[in-house]
Amino acid sequence: ITPASMTIVFLSITIGTIMTMSSSNWLMAWIGLELNMLAILPIISKPKTTRASEATTKYFLTQAIASAMMLLSSTINVWQTGSWNILELKNKFSTTIMALSLMMKMGAAPIHFWLPEVLQGTTLQTALLITTWQKIAPVTLMYMISNNIQPTILVSAGILSMIIGGLGGINQTQLRKMMAYSSINNLGWTITIMAFSPNMALMNICTYIIMTTPIFLMMTNMSTKTLQNLSTTWTTSMTMTLSIALLMLSTSGLPPFTGFMPKMLILNELISQKLTTLATLAI
């Protein structure tokens, strides 16, 4: 891929996300997401391997299905309300379909199956892009319609994401798959609190992005892709290996690291909303 075409691709990814974030119309938001999706496909398929081609196909199919669900939802809502406005999503069926499509876009359970596979088939830089930048647009849309989504749907998907994210990463030796399950887990926290305090959900996802970015950048710098690689880099780059270990503990929400702060605030909010059982499940 030439530098000029790479510039166009990255510009399209940026414009697509910004277009979705700033639009008040479902059609413009959908166009932004489509532009974003089509632009990232050449980046995923850049390594000329069968695994990269497989990852590109899986990413394209799941995102295309999610986009179709999104169009279906907004079209049904237009029939009911006569408005394409994002904030006018009043129909319960439309809201449920839209919530599921956005969860599929960002890779939250129960429609998470594509994320670990796609991340494993791409380079570390592309994995960073998928786990951080690609989450911004769907999370923003979910934030905008959070008042209309039934809390039961968000909480159920959130708890399921936490469980799958936590259990899925246990037996992994591949760092990219571990980061994928970490992403699913953190999305679980974000979706759960989205029903009660959308601003806190945004703070949680922003904290996650800030912590994940240096992990991937350091892994790229050291060319580590497995836990075994990470254990051998201790002799050559002790500072970087220690930094990765501490950042991973932070993303898992261990006190006294930064990642513990949003989780503590989320638990506090759940308890104050008389949802003690839910808070206990989250722990």
Q: What is the pLDDT of residue 278?
A: 66
Measured distance CA(110)–CA(100) in Å, rounded: 9
Measured distance CA(96)–CA(154) in Å, rounded: 10
pLDDT tens track for 224-275: 888 888 888 877 888 888 999 899 999 988 888 999 999 999 989 888 887 7
Q: Taking 70 as the threshold, does the pLDDT of residue 281 lie above it?
A: no
pLDDT tens track for 80-131: 988 899 998 888 999 999 999 999 999 998 889 999 999 999 999 999 999 9
Q: Taking 80 as the threshold, does the pLDDT of residue 10 lie above it?
A: yes
Q: Taking 80 as the threshold, does the pLDDT of residue 43 lie above it?
A: yes
Domain spans in the chain, listed from the N-terminal domain onward:
3-282
What's the mean pLDDT when you consider all of the chain? 91
Measured distance CA(87)–CA(24) in Å, rounded: 8
pTM passes above 0.95: no
Largest distance between two CA atoms of the chain: 64
Q: What is the pLDDT of residue 250?
A: 93
Q: What is the pLDDT of residue 187?
A: 95
Cis peptide leading into 47, omega within 30 of 0?
A: no
Evaluate the CA torsion angle 49, 51, 56, 60 in order and state its sign.
positive
Instruction: State phi, psi for 174 to the nearest 5 degrees.
Output: -85, 125
Per-residue confidence at 37, pLDDT binned at 50, 70, 90? very high
Measured distance CA(231)–CA(234) in Å, rounded: 6
Measured distance CA(135)–CA(101) in Å, rounded: 13
Q: What is the pLDDT of residue 3?
A: 87
pLDDT tens track for 128-164: 999 999 999 999 999 999 999 998 999 999 999 999 9
Q: Which of 62, 59, 64, 76 is nearest to 30 (CA)?
A: 64
